[in-house]
Structure 1
Amino acid sequence: MSDTTERLHMSGIVKRFPGTVALDGVDLSVRAGEVHCLLGENGAGKSTLMKILAGSYQPDEGTILLDGEPYRPATPHAGLAAGIAVIYQELDLLPDLTVAQNLLLGRAPRLGPFVRRARRAGLAREALDRVGANFPVTTPVRELPIAARQLTAIAKALTADARVIVMDEPSATLGESELARVFEVIRSLTAEGRSVIFISHRMEEVMEIGHRATVLRDGRTAGVFDLSSTGPGELVAAMIGEAKELVRPTAHPAPEGEPRLSVERVHVPGLLDVRGIEVRPGEIVGLAGLGGAGRTTLLRALFGDIKAQVTARLDGVPLRPGSPAAAVRAGLALVPESRKEQGLMLGLSVSRNAAIAALGRPPWLMPGRTGRRITADALTALGVKSAGPGQLVGQLSGGNQQKVVLAKWITRGRIRVLLLDEPTRGLDVGAKADLYRQVRHLAGQGVAVLLASSELNELTANADRIQVLYEGRNVAGFDPRVSPESVIAHTVITGATP
């Protein structure tokens, strides 16, 4: 068990982004030799707080002490040098380098200007052995399976001799035996006096490995709990809020009739196995779930953007989304979560981006006046704020970029199924209302909508039905008109209906 010596103290941490306050006076205290669990729903502020700790973000307000000394890293490299190692859920490994090169990147043993390769390999082997990994240190990371990459990332933190190790959903890609070995490593680290911040949505893991837990909710500290005297139900209640403000569901009648999209099964080995989802013309079906539950993977698979086994029908005809181009021809449209990487060409104008799907030609060959003419109505309806249609879309705020992605599909028309992945991320309240008004307008024209969002109150306000995904499977379905938000949230977090 940990002692009472304070290793890390974060006090009054505030972080603002355009249109939102991600952290609003958060406190976090971690003891030496402690496994401290950091809990909260998606969007509660966990990742932002850890990026501040790592040096990736700078806080707008607040103080941080590390072993009693002021700590404010300007970069992740400075954070690592100070003894903070963060293992993100999106692993920050370089795929073209070997395991040994990744483990000791920037810290390889040298003899003058030359890397001592044998010594580096030996140190890497020791770190891998400690986490129970038996693959060669000469293996390029891109050739490793996902679970092996996770173990590599943990081993990398060990080579850094960190005082505080942050593990963000470490079990998401691990099997039971691999996770048991990781827990052994965590216990050995805390026995040495190191501190571990453990982020997980799996209550059974939290109760097994944790000493204390801090719960974040809506960017604030909702409570600190001694896990030896706290049950999972109390933690869940703190995460979702017993008196959480609800948004009333829309009053329109639920659509009826034959489904437009009927998903028999979407399977990605080791990641996703979703069955039996239907969406009718004019219906909005919400996808709820924690990070890693499979919502993004499901939408990308239906859009032909990743390799998957898809058995589905579109208006009764087999859907074969071999590629995004084939999906678009079939009448599917995707507003992706990663708008900058997948949804936009940042070096081109607002109007050219919004017109590309409608005109079906390279946007640099498109007359500027044509793009402005055909996109004006959609951009206006969505309330896109820009210096004009000729402004580069990369210069817009993230929320306005997201609206341009939706405008692209509204301009094209001929949509039968609209796939929305976190469509309101980065939007303020008014912009969210504009976007959902347009989505409901599209549904009113017969478009079937599949909406993935980590904002449960948005799903209960806008979806006709909600499907909960948990660890790659759809585990429950709810009618938000009759199911309390707390019941749905409990299922999102635990994977089981209360």
Structure 2
Amino acid sequence: MNASGTGGPSELTPRLSMRGIVKRFPGTLANDHAELTVLPGETHCLLGENGAGKSTLMKILAGSLQPDEGEIRLDGEPVRLTSPQAGMAAGISVIYQELDLVPDLTVAQNLLLGRAPARGPVIRRGRRAELAREAIDRVGGDFPVNAVVRELPIAAQQLTAIARALTTQARVIVMDEPSATLGENDLRKVFDVIRSLTAEGRSVIYISHRMDEVMEIGDRATVMRDGRSVSVHDLARATPDELVAAMIGESRELVRPTDRPRPEGPALLEIRRVHRPGLIDVRDIEVRPGEVAGLAGLGGAGRTTLLSALFGDTGASVSVRLDGAEPRLSSPAAAVRAGFALVPENRKEQGLMPGLSVARNAAVTALGRPPWLAPHTTGRRRATPALSGLGVKYSSPDQPVGKLSGGNQQKVVLAKWIAKGGLRVLLLDEPTRGLDVGAKADLYRQVRHLADQGVAVLLASSELNELTANADRVWVLHEGRNVACYDPRTTDEATIAHTVITGETPATKAAS
């Protein structure tokens, strides 16, 4: 690890030391001898692009995943964190970006779940409410502790999750992108809480892609890239540009441009505006027939929200033109009628019915009724051409789709839209997540084949190299807005990555 500085008294025994952490998944080395050292009373920022290995490392720290190799020490003592319960018992509290609160319980019940004050078997509700109120007040919350969590705004839910960490007396508190759902005032409150926690000697690991936050609240930062810890920075002496360069890597090669002829002519899809207050405000994106338009952005940048809105599945206001007309995309059914198709990020929960057969899954949109009500022969007849065209490998059309490989499952999701016919706009959200290299290449060949038939494709991916290799243009979303559009034939990947992380284009950076 290259150290560009050290922060804090070096003679302190580290509060947390993670050494040589290795975690393998099928086809992926998520952590490659990663290291992280956090001192008592320190706010330590963990930085890296999507897929750098940050989340895996924190899940290992929380006890949710077990490392294949490596050692974890807390205050100098080796620990084995074999479960989330073991992590909490050791003094680790993780506040995930995707909150793990129990939505049907109250704020007070969530804060002291499993730890409520009791007299014998009877919970002391009044005392629980007092303790909850103290924790919520500390994070600056002004909502009642007897409110049901699912009825609260998302910012209040985030503050509840932070308050819960305060009630555990944790030694290490991990905050994963806390500002993604917080306004400026709430973020100020959270920063005050962080400063009070570190003043007590507790340690905070702060994960964020926002350089201004990192520079304001952090003492030191560890940068991860490709599963490795590549550098440690003293934030009092570092610059945002240094951090971004470390995240991107100096050896980033120029992009390999797509060799498809660039589609010309008028746009098929014109996204005039997609707006949901506090989440997304995207304007003036056009996609021509046959064009693959990439959507790049960090987690929380708005890519999934944009695609879901175009598919009629969020509370966003949507103004689009499709081949000159103005469809009302008020529901997924309306979007399908207009010729839109969505391949969602979570194929197993949102794209497939794992217990049903390959044929029934592939024919579901074409049948016009619940697939279990249609005759087997009808489903097979409608599904077989699409499955064959995509090269789906299965033993029988009656085989449960959940038994297929990930790549073949993803092809079945795509097949159900091809089997229906009338496809005009294909929305792809992280379509290659969890696929091996061969399956990725096969899927993109099928996507390009659809584009060659005149389909307009919007492709969202965290893998920037996949976008630059397969998209005709790459739109960058940052904090809910589209901030730039690049031609991967003429723009190097490092420039696009810099905009993805900072929201700045070369022009805006020069002007500042």
> Residues 399-444 of structure 1, C-alpha deviation per residue, up to 9 Å, x if partnerless?
4322321222223232100000000101111111000000000000
For residues 191 and 120 of structure 1, what CA distance do their matches in structure 2 show?
Answer: 26
One of 286, 289, 292 as aligned partner of 1:281: 289
Q: Are 2:41 and 2:203, in contact at CA under 8 Å, matched by a contact in 1?
A: yes
| Matching residue of 1:49 | 57
Relative to structure 1, is the Cα distance of residues 228 and 382 closer, same or farther in structure 2, using a 3 angstrom cutoff?
farther
Q: CA deviation at 1:5?
A: 2.2
1:200 aligned to 2:208? Answer: yes
Larger mean CA deviation between 262-271 and 385-394 belongs to 385-394
| Matching residue of 2:510 | none
1:307 aligned to 2:315? Answer: yes
> Residues 145-181 of structure 1, C-alpha deviation per residue, up to 9 Å, x if partnerless?
1111111110000001101000000111112121111
Relative to structure 1, is the Cα distance of residues 264 and 139 closer, same or farther in structure 2, using a 3 angstrom cutoff?
same
SS in 1 for 2:173: strand
SS in 2 for 1:361: coil
Larger mean CA deviation between 444-453 and 28-37 belongs to 28-37
| Matching residue of 1:405 | 413
| Matching residue of 2:354 | 346
Which AA in structure 1 matches 2:366? A
| Matching residue of 1:487 | 495
Relative to structure 1, is the Cα distance of residues 221 and 380 closer, same or farther in structure 2, using a 3 angstrom cutoff?
farther
Q: CA deviation at 1:391?
A: 2.5
SS in 2 for 1:403: helix
Matches of residues 294-443 of structure 1 in structure 2 within 5 Å? 294-443=302-451
SS in 2 for 1:248: coil
Which AA in structure 1 matches 2:128? R
Q: How many residues align?
A: 498
> Residues 359-393 of structure 1, C-alpha deviation per residue, up to 9 Å, x if partnerless?
22211123334434443454355454544433322
Matches of residues 238-257 of structure 1 in structure 2 within 5 Å? 238-257=246-265
Q: Are 1:400 and 1:427, in contact at CA under 8 Å, matched by a contact in 2?
A: no
For residues 180 and 164 of structure 1, what CA distance do their matches in structure 2 show?
Answer: 21
| Matching residue of 1:91 | 99
For residues 29 and 419 of structure 2, what CA distance do their matches in structure 1 show?
Answer: 32
RMSD: 1.5
Percent identity (aligned): 75
For residues 243 and 389 of structure 2, what CA distance do their matches in structure 1 show?
Answer: 42
Which AA in structure 1 matches 2:86? A
One of 131, 144, 156 as aligned partner of 1:136: 144
SS in 1 for 2:64: coil
> Residues 120-159 of structure 1, C-alpha deviation per residue, up to 9 Å, x if partnerless?
0111011111111111111111111111111111000000
Larger mean CA deviation between 105-114 and 351-360 belongs to 351-360
| Matching residue of 1:170 | 178
| Matching residue of 1:229 | 237
For residues 202 and 491 of structure 1, what CA distance do their matches in structure 2 show?
Answer: 12
Which AA in structure 2 matches 1:9? S
For residues 110 and 208 of structure 2, what CA distance do their matches in structure 1 show?
Answer: 25
Question: What's the TM-score, normalizing by structure 2?
Answer: 0.94
Which AA in structure 1 matches 2:189? R
Q: Which runs of 5 or more residues in structure 2 are unaligned?
A: 1-6, 507-512
For residues 190 and 206 of structure 1, what CA distance do their matches in structure 2 show?
Answer: 15
Question: What's the TM-score, normalizing by structure 1?
Answer: 0.97
SS in 2 for 1:193: coil
SS in 2 for 1:27: strand
SS in 2 for 1:133: coil
For residues 42 and 120 of structure 1, what CA distance do their matches in structure 2 show?
Answer: 39
Q: Are 1:2 and 1:32, in contact at CA under 8 Å, matched by a contact in 2?
A: no
